[in-house]
Structure 1
Amino acid sequence: MTVWDQLVGQAPVAEQLRRAAAGEGLTHAWLFTGPPGSGRSTAAKAFAAALNCEVEDVMARGCGVCPGCRAVLAESHSDVTFVRTEKVTITIDEARGLVAKSGDRPSTGRWRIVVVEDADRMAERTTNVLLKAIEEPTPRTIWMLCAPSPADVLVTIRSRCRPVGLRLPPVSDVAALLVERDGADPDLAVQAARAAQSHIGIARRLVHDPAARERRAATVRLPLTLTTVSQAVNLAEQLVKIASDEASSSNEERDAQERSRLLETLGVTGDEKLPPTLRSQVRQLEEDQKRRAKRSVTDSLDRTLTDLLSFYRDVLMLQLGSDVDPVNTEIAADVRDFAAKSSAAVTLARMDAVNTTRQRITTTNVAPLLAVEAMAVSLI
């Protein structure tokens, strides 16, 4: 299995990157864009593995089995740096560290590669720190930036990068991957892939986590009972609670493991009281975890609103007479009844309200509950 097999439903992209890895059109900076779930970071990782693949035949690079490929895929290769943030933004100090690291010569592979998976989460002044390094990199350095769209990256950066545009893979391809790689039940795999709207990561979670499936089912049913302001306030509270529960289920166990590992590293065992000299390190970990928790809630709420948006998407398709397959097949009858009670113009206005709220939550410091309450009232 080569590294290109991981690019589900992205045959043109895989071919473009395979040729570049063989030396055809290879350049020093790349910008991977596509909707969430399209596999931007997966494509960048596969490309990085192919560039440092140890196979002699240039057209066969990206074998997926040589030590070079395996190290990159495991994110343990000394010459490949992966940058992702669990906080709200990538800091300017982190960017300066990347610039310094990018100047090093590769130690074992052909290329020094820096993969920035959250390039859209950098402030303008942070991005400007990278500009000179991307514009004039050292001879054996390649930058790979990932963002939802080219517009999410400063024009001065994207003008110096070769674009790689990805699309969401078909539901059938995602379902086949879940069956082959995760051993999922075929019917459940199709249901999860459709509910996740081809987002591979979310589809995998829906397959393996019954609680996640229940939370999503509750989300898409909420508009069916929305007729009064009091119900709108209740809907907002439920949406925020669903997102918070989703984030908590992901973070609690991880936070406890990180704290346990840190205490073990510091030589503190059991209920032993922390010496004053070590408290600052534990406090720093707790602050990092709080920032990550805030990001997790924001991301989870964005996914919850995306699920809510899928309900109105199905409604709009019915109102327009489209033959596009619905996302929420399990409530198809309820969606039909709901669609008959309003017009496409009303549905579009409701979808716009949901998208506006998503933007406010992810790009501003607005209180999530207040933003969702305002949205819910507009959905009545």
Structure 2
Amino acid sequence: MDAAPAEVTGASPAAAANRPVPWGAVWGQPDAVAALQAAASDPAGMTHAWLITGPPGSGRSTLAYAFAAALIAEPGDEQVMRQVLAGTHPDLTSLRTEGVIISIKDARALVERSYFAPSLGRYRVIVMEDADRMAERTSNVLLKALEEPPERTVWVLCAPSDADLLPTIRSRVRTLRLHDPDVSDVARLIADRTGVDEVTAEQSARHAQRHIGMAQRLATDAAARARRDETLRAVLGVRGVGDAVEVAGRIVAVATEDAKALTTERDESERAQLLRTLGVPEGASVPPAVRSQLNALEDDQKRRATRSLRDGIDRVLTDLQSMFRDVALLQFGRDDLINRELEDDLRALAAAWSPQRTFVVVDRLAETRRNLEQNVAPTLALESLLVTIASGRTL
């Protein structure tokens, strides 16, 4: 889920605490909140399939669950709303893939649930986070359910952009587009939430490019800030194939360590919980009768680890895009930089390179991100990118 964000850009984040459930966690999207509040209060004009789009960290998922709570609960029933927000209400079905793609099996399960009548609430709500991770075959599973949902079922899809979904999906949903908050507003939110100083909050919001969850992580994790700085400086120092191979290996190694740190403890807890549920004593061998369930869990965990690694590398590529975006701005006489701490190095690079060379690198960064989504080996993809940076090839 996107990091929970307050209400109006420029308003104090603390004001969110005084707003009614379920909208108190939604920050920086007043127009979207108003549209969904109006929809939830007007059953006659209700749209039964929605697509919430916005950049990572804009609060797509937070808004989706707030909308679900407003739809399921009777007006003013905060107890039920909080149950929906906690993900425990029987009339909420949600899917957030932790794999590389959303499987057809998972999509079919959502469609099946969508045809159940609400058991307790006003509506049954199906929330699909990361809807952009559906392959075409998976999207086709959803088409009829989105086109003709039961009267009291509402679908809410979340994706970075409507362009990430098939036209056949887009034609069946009402799209609600979120916007980026300002860096200064994200910085105030992060300072309020974490207690960090204003300088760290501003730097973190800027480096995260207003992604609230990432800004909070950078603000509260000095090691993450240091790794980001070291990575950007290392890429600036690449001069040839040998450097490219070394730096690419280092980036993948760091991303792998981060992925393990995020998943190992959870994996062990899930395994222990499953064995307890199956009645297997701690330390005992796993009986053949339950091995299939354990294998299924391990397969899910492997997919989650792969996704976590890819997300980590994609975050590095996002940081590199911000750096070469800064170079391009300097070449055209602009100085509103994301990476101000590297300004001297970036000015030197802007003077040494032509704008054409900078745009070749920016294009190759976008291509590398696409290639990683197509399961290209991360190390090879990064090596190719860094050789391009070092050589300035215009292929």
| 1:315/1:336 contact within 8 Å kept | yes
Q: Relative to structure 2, which stretch is displaced further, 179-188 or 350-359? A: 179-188
Q: 2:58 aligns with which of 38, 57, 64?
A: 38
Question: How far apart, in 2, do the equivalents of 1:184 and 1:256 lie?
Answer: 32
Equivalent residues in 2 for 1:115-264, closer than 5 Å: 115-264=127-276
Q: Relative to structure 2, which stretch is displaced further, 288-297 or 237-246? A: 237-246
| 2:72/2:125 contact within 8 Å kept | no
Question: How far apart, in 2, do the equivalents of 1:170 and 1:5 lie?
Answer: 19
| 1:220/1:310 contact within 8 Å kept | no
Question: How far apart, in 1, do the equivalents of 2:153 and 2:116 lie?
Answer: 8
C-alpha displacement at 1:340, in angstroms?
1.9
Q: Unmatched 5+ residue regions in structure 1?
A: 57-64
Partner of 1:377: 387
Q: Relative to structure 2, which stretch is displaced further, 90-99 or 131-140? A: 90-99
Q: Relative to structure 2, which stretch is displaced further, 351-360 or 245-254? A: 245-254
Tell me the percent identity.
51
Question: How far apart, in 1, do the equivalents of 2:133 and 2:285 lie?
Answer: 38
| 2:47/2:174 contact within 8 Å kept | yes
Query: What SS is found at the alignment partner of 2:333?
Result: coil
C-alpha displacement at 1:9, in angstroms?
2.3
Question: TM-score, normalising length from structure 1?
Answer: 0.92
Query: What SS is found at the alignment partner of 2:346?
Result: helix
Query: What SS is found at the alignment partner of 2:100?
Result: coil
Partner of 1:297: 309
| 2:52/2:159 contact within 8 Å kept | yes
Question: How far apart, in 2, do the equivalents of 1:173 and 1:160 lie?
Answer: 34
Deviation digits for residues 325-380 of structure 1 (CA, Å, limit 9, x no counterpart)? x2122222222222222122211111111110001101x12111111111111111
Query: What SS is found at the alignment partner of 1:230?
Result: helix
C-alpha displacement at 1:323, in angstroms?
4.2
Q: 1:306 aligns with which of 286, 298, 318?
A: 318
Partner of 2:75: 55
RMSD of aligned residue pairs (Cα, Å): 1.8
Matched residue pairs, number?
A: 370
Deviation digits for residues 263-299 of structure 1 (CA, Å, limit 9, x no counterpart)? 2222333322222222222222212111111111111
Q: Relative to structure 2, which stretch is displaced further, 123-132 or 47-56? A: 47-56
Query: What SS is found at the alignment partner of 2:196?
Result: coil
| 2:235/2:386 contact within 8 Å kept | no
Equivalent residues in 2 for 1:17-96, closer than 5 Å: 17-23=36-42, 25-55=45-75, 66-96=78-108
**Corresponding position: 1:366 with 2:386:** no
Question: How far apart, in 2, do the equivalents of 1:262 and 1:183 lie?
Answer: 38
Query: What SS is found at the alignment partner of 2:156?
Result: strand
| 2:74/2:122 contact within 8 Å kept | no
Question: How far apart, in 1, do the equivalents of 2:272 and 2:264 lie?
Answer: 12
Q: Specify the code of the residue in structure 1 equivalent to 2:302.
A: K
Partner of 2:345: 334
C-alpha displacement at 1:48, in angstroms?
1.3
Partner of 1:287: 299
| 1:350/1:378 contact within 8 Å kept | yes
Question: How far apart, in 2, do the equivalents of 1:196 and 1:105 lie?
Answer: 42
Query: What SS is found at the alignment partner of 2:158?
Result: strand
Partner of 1:355: 366
| 1:45/1:73 contact within 8 Å kept | yes
Q: Unmatched 5+ residue regions in structure 2?
A: 1-18, 391-395
Q: Specify the code of the residue in structure 2 equivalent to 1:147.
A: A
